[in-house]
Amino acid sequence: MEKFKLHFKRISKHPFFGFVLFGLALSLIPIFNNFLPVSFVDSAAKTLIYFIVALGFALLIGYGGLASLGTSSFIAIGTFAIYTVMDLLNMPFALAILIGVIVALMVGVIFGFVSLRIEGMYLAIVTLGLSEIMIELFKNFDKFTGGVSGTTFSSFRLLGQSLSTNQTFFIIIIAVVIAMILTYNLINSPTGRALLAAKNSDSAARAMGISVIKYRLIAFMVSTVYAVIGGMFYMAYIKFSMGSTWGLAVSLNILAAVVVGGSKSIWGVFIGTFIIFGLDLMVFQQIPFLSQGAFANFSFVISGVLIIVVVMYYPSGLIGLFKKMTFKLKNKLAKKSKGERKS
Amino acid sequence: MYIIELIINSILQSGPLALATFAIVLIFRTSFTTNFAQGMIGTVAAFITTYILMPSPDITGNVPSPTFLTYLIAISVGIIVSFIISMLVDIVIFRNSKYITPVGKQIVTMGIVLIITGLIPFFFGISDRSLPRIGANLEGTFIDTILLSGVEGLRDIGIFVKYHMVLGFLISFIIIGTLFIMLKYTRWGLGVRATASNENVASMMGINTRFITAMSWAIAGGLGALAAILISSNKGTFGNVTVYFMVAIQVQAFFAAILGGFSTFHGPIIGIILLTFFKNLFTSYLNPWGNTVLYLFVLLIVLIKPLGLFGKKIAKKV
Amino acid sequence: MKPLFEKMKHLLNQFLRIYYTKKLLKLNKKKVFNENEMTFKNHQLEQKKERLISKTESKELSEAEVQTKRQEIEIRIEKELTEAKQNIITKSADIENKIIKMKAKRDNLQNALISKIENDLLALKEKNTHLEKVISEAKKTNKDLNQADELIQEKEEELKNNLRKINIIESRKNTEENTDIHLSLSHLTMKFGGLKAVDDLSFDVKKGEIFGLIGPNGAGKTTVFNCITQFYKPNGGDIYYNDSNNETNSLLDFKVHDIINLGIVRTFQNVELVWELSVLDNLLVGAHSLYSAGFFSQLLHLPKIRYEEKVLKTRALEVLKKLDILAYKDALPYGLPYGVLKKIEFARTLMTKPNLIILDEPAAGLNDAETKELAQLIKSLRDEFNLTIFLVEHDMGLVMEVCDTICAISFGKKIAIGSPSEIQKHPKVQEAYLGGE
């Protein structure tokens, strides 16, 4: 028993322990989905999908110090890639991932290389142009995208088996945990450190032998791949995608989620995604007064204000604020207990 | 003849776009960031203008022409509001966040885009609004006769230009000309140029860089507003003012700035003229791939000349 | 057509030569990593031994039993160590083989380049004798004096330029022959607009010396510095460098991020650390060029990257210990005393076992006591790690104390070079510093 306890202690200290526990906690949602409102489960799934996308974006913005406005275009590429491969060509999911990733990497390399060669700031401009191009492309390639009216997805298959919504939810949870683990690995690797060094001082990083453009491009590529994968799960779960919905607003909301929660912490990104997407989808959209009419975009205002406040006063995001608060609280408690002991 | 007509029309069309481009470059040079909120701040001005002209939109699709004076007042109010909003962005946000990076500033402007997107339906309703053409109420005035004779003269030699396009171009031309003169000869212009070359040195030389940047933001806001009003009114169609109508314009302005190079003021202006010309050329021959080809074309040029066509290399101290 | 073809061929050769040289340098880095591996293995097994011994001691055994156990452990560890050593030796032999192969490939191209340079040299010399003839003839037959003067001036200018080119080539040869030269600047020129920040500057830095570059404000010291580290591409002249294998490279062939692979590391005037990373992680950033694990290895946290991290962490701890700042290893650098930050930056440069360290105003921001300590540190580092140190400095006290050779420049031009005492006495230096008579 003693030995088991020791063992458990060692495992629980492992950084992946939290991620797996998180996954287990999430799987309560599909398990008890009979007792939960449908809208809640759907919103949770959407939030988790955006969380995957946000994790990739966090590497770009928190470690690379770069902002991109093309995220929604890459999500859209993911949705249409899975539709084309699985529905039109009747091929397996793995091939969809492969093709989606290759397309995203090709597009990403072109736009990333051109802009990052000049200066990091140009990435946002060029990817804004990319989203304009993509909207046109989605309209014109109506065979693969359904053109203006969008397209529906028949069924998500894995290993030849058609999955129910609930089963898809489980797959999404597994993907989330994997994404968290991979992101953790990457930010604690030489790549993560090289990105931080380049963000901190371009010239110092180069003097240390870091090819700045290479690592920035890697960060951008990773964020595009995460977005494409997120898009695929979106299609697998929601089963509908329309080119024109993937505009600037989605990209900006993902940016907001990452910045608000804390772009350098995986849990921070989750908190941000939960606030920006989760609260909106689960709470605000369910209230008719807030989901229609003049208040339809009410949540945008919140996101915008939060972005500005966080950038101005809490550069490490809400997670940084929480950490500071708990630290202070602990100090206070420690002081108190000390005082009690004295008396 | 066709190509001459295309060139002339492109130049006319690029007038209002040049206002937006100039505003972007002005902010880039004084605050070292790219202002993504500029189009949205301009959109606010366009909405305000429509609101003053027509509190409720016309359902028949006919856009009634208001009198010249009401139009002028409406436009002025729109521009002033944008001017103030933009200045407040600098004074309230950037001035109070000391250690903000250029990308941090970019992110703030993106946040402003979100806020305005959310607030517009709240203030102006959810349906699209319309702005009538600006030239429609000048009949009988002195400007009208000159413009009309010009347009007709061109028409006689086989070049068709639109009256309101010429007017929009003239307004833009006068304003950009004034700004260039101001840059060269006024204290503000000197301050902008000094801040652009080195902010720290400029402030040490006794230039009030805070005033300069605040003024630049304000002017950029006003320019963006005028651009938005001119562009939407040039369309002259029903429902020409929507929440997102400036996004495409903003992309054009940014790409023009990249094409011409951010390091000069004239480069981006030439950039927007070239961009508009090629856009018209590509959209008439390569439809529906016009925009795609255009932007990839610009990226190709930037790949060869990373600093833009007119960019100068600035040696950075390491 | 033929000259164009020749030119293309030359360019291709040049490209391949640089490519192979870079590969060679990467292999050299692997060698450095191998050395670190050795110390890591020693360290690891030492710890293992201690752990095992303490385990036996905790059990209640008789003295004799402990003794035998101990011996057993020692034998076991010894065995493992020899195994590890053997392993590393085979690995390094493998690398050595690769280096030889790569070198053979590279040397073919290098020889082509050298023969081309020789040809150029001959052509230039021939041209010069011709020019001299033309000039002397023009001087003899000066019918129209004005016209002849212009011609003579033009030709003399050309002659001078050619001579400079010859000098640059010959200085390369000189650097190749004298392996005790570490770094050689030859007619370095850097212009900003019309302004010449560095004007025709030449000097040699010998192996193992502390070389100081001094000059009043705006003399172009930092520009020289940035030309060496390739942040600026100079407009004229060349910079030659003898690496640890005594091979001569022109630094202009490399990009900024390749310079560290040659064994040159720099520090910055105002300490440039990564403030969001701990001190230990900052040192690992300095060792970035020693990692060879690929992206997927990092993404999946495969054994390869884990092993490399362990090895380099051991190296980092070793360096921190040597500089006496081990206590700060997990701290964030933000808010640490300035002297400590300087030391961290030093530690970071030492991670890759460089041959030449260049310091940009190391005494900037330090008080007198700290400067004295720094001088001691620089000297001891030089002696311990067998380094050459090149420093650009404003603080005359530090320069006079630590440097073996000093070069004084003013307005981008060399005004004096020599030992500290020679420089102190030099009238031109005094003039430059004190301004006129």
Spell out the domain ranges in chain C. Answer: 1-177, 179-434
Rounded mean pLDDT, C36-53: 87
pLDDT of residue B301: 92
Per-residue confidence (pLDDT) for residue B240, from 0 to 100? 78
pLDDT digits (tens, 9 = 90+) for C366-421: 888 888 888 888 899 899 888 999 999 877 888 888 999 999 988 888 888 999 88
Q: Give the integer Cα–Cα distance in Å for B300 and B281.
A: 17
List chains touching A (3+ CB pairs under 8 A): B, C
Whole-angstrom distance, CA of residue A253 vs CA of residue A274: 12
Which pLDDT belongs to residue B318? 45
* Burial (0-12, 13-18, 19+ Cβ within 10 Å), B204: exposed
Joined tokens for residue B54: 């027509």
Q: Are B279 and B290 in contact (CB under 8 A)?
A: yes
- How sure is the predictor about C436, in pLDDT bands with cuts at 50, 70 and 90? very low
| Distance set, CA C180 to CA A84, B215, C247, C261, C416 (Å) | 66, 60, 12, 20, 21
pLDDT (0 to 100) of residue C243: 85
| Neighbour count for residue A87 (Cβ, 10 Å) | 19
Integer Cα distance of C265 and C385 in angstroms: 14
pLDDT tens for chain B, residues 1 to 318: 788 888 988 999 999 999 999 999 999 988 889 999 999 999 999 999 888 887 555 555 555 567 778 888 889 999 999 999 999 999 999 988 877 888 899 999 999 999 999 899 888 887 778 787 776 666 667 777 888 888 888 888 878 888 888 888 999 999 999 999 999 998 888 888 888 888 788 888 888 888 889 999 999 999 999 999 999 888 766 677 888 889 889 999 999 999 999 888 999 999 999 999 999 998 888 878 888 899 999 999 998 988 888 877 665 554
- Looking at residue C147, what is its pLDDT? 63
Listed in sequence order, the residues at least 6 apart from C56 whose beta carbon sits closer than 8 Å to its beta carbon are: C66, C69, C70, C73
| Distances, alpha carbon C28 to alpha carbons C21, C32, C87, C248, C252, in Å | 10, 6, 18, 15, 20
Tell me, what's the pLDDT at B22?
95
Tell whether the model's pLDDT for residue C247 goes beyond 50: yes
Contact criterion met (CB below 8 Å) for C364 and C392:
no
C192 inside 8 A of chain B by CB: yes
Contact between B134 and B226 (Cβ < 8 Å):
no
For A46-92, what is each residue's pLDDT tens digit?
999 999 999 999 999 999 999 999 999 999 999 999 999 998 998 89
Neighbours of C39 (CB within 10 A): 13
Alpha-carbon gap, residue B48 to B45, rounded angstroms: 5
pLDDT at residue C295, rounded to an integer? 92
Q: What is the 3-state secondary structure (H, E, C) of C113-159?
A: HHHHHHHHHHHHHHHHHHHHHHHHHHHHCCCCHHHHHHHHHHHHHHH
In this predicted structure, the answer to whether residue A314 has a pLDDT above a threshold of 90 is no
Percent of chain A surpassing pLDDT 90: 54
- Chain C residues in contact with B101 by the CB 8 A cut-off are none
Tell me what pLDDT residue B62 has: 55
Tokens (6 digits) for B157: 């030699």
Structure tokens at B71: 């139009």
Region C200-212 average pLDDT: 91
Reply yes or no on whether the pLDDT at C7 is more than 90: no
Q: Which ipTM did the prediction report?
A: 0.88
Q: Is the pLDDT of residue A341 over 80?
A: no
Average pLDDT value for residue range C202-218: 88
* Span of A283-292, B174-183, C180-189, C403-412 with lowest mean pLDDT: A283-292
Which pLDDT belongs to residue B243? 86
The span from the CA of A268 to the CA of A317, in Å, is 7
Nearest residue on chain C to B314, alpha-carbon basis? C192
pLDDT of residue C310: 92
Q: What is this structure's pTM?
A: 0.91
In chain A, which residues have their Cβ closer than 8 Å to the Cβ of B115? 300-301, 304-305, 308
Report the gap between the CA of A185 and the closest CA in chain C (Å): 6
* Nearest residue to B160 (alpha-carbon basis) of B12, B318, B313: B12
Tokens representing A15 are: 């950084």
Give tens-digit pLDDT for A158-184: 887 888 888 999 999 999 999 999 999
From A220-224, B284-288, C271-275, the region with the lowest mean pLDDT: B284-288
Q: What is the dihedral of CA A214, A215, A217, A222, to 10 degrees?
A: 140
Least confident of A229-243, C158-172, C239-253: C158-172
Query: For residues A111 and A36, which has the higher predicted lDDT (pLDDT)?
Result: A111
Average pLDDT of chain A is: 89
Read off the pLDDT band of A342 (50, 70, 90).
low
The fold of the C179-434 domain, in CATH, is Rossmann fold (3.40.50)
Pick from B56, B79, B52: nearest CA to B229: B79
Decide if A209 touches C, using CB distance below 8 A.
yes
Measured torsion, CA atoms of residues B243, B249, B250, B255, in degrees rounded to the nearest 10: 160
Chain C hits for A201, CB-CB cut-off 8 Å, are 268, 272, 274
- Contact of C19 with chain B, judged by CB distance below 8 Å, is answered with no
> Quick one: pLDDT band at residue C142, thresholds 50, 70, 90?
low
Nearest to C230, CA basis, from C50, C18, C430, C55: C18
Q: Do B36 and A303 touch (CB under 8 A)?
A: no
The answer to whether the beta carbons of residues A209 and A123 sit under 8 Å apart is no
- The H helix count followed by the E strand count for chain A is 18, 4
Task: For residue B311, give how far its alpha carbon lies from the nearest alpha carbon of chain C (Å).
Answer: 15
The string of pLDDT tens digits covering residues C95-120 is 889 988 888 888 888 888 888 888 88
- Does C21 contact B at CB distance below 8 Å? no
pLDDT confidence tier of residue A258, bands split at 50, 70 and 90? very high
User: In this predicted model, which residue has the larger pLDDT, A224 or C334?
Assistant: A224
The confidence score (pLDDT) of residue B241 equals 84
Instruction: Say if residue A219's pLDDT is above 80.
Output: yes
Determine contact, residues C219/C413, Cβ cutoff 8 Å: no
Kindly list the distances between the CA atom of residue A343 and the CA atoms of A45, A337, B181, in Å, as whole numbers in the listed order.
53, 10, 77
In A, minimum Cα distance to C354 occurs at: A208
Residues of A in contact with B298 (CB under 8 A): 129
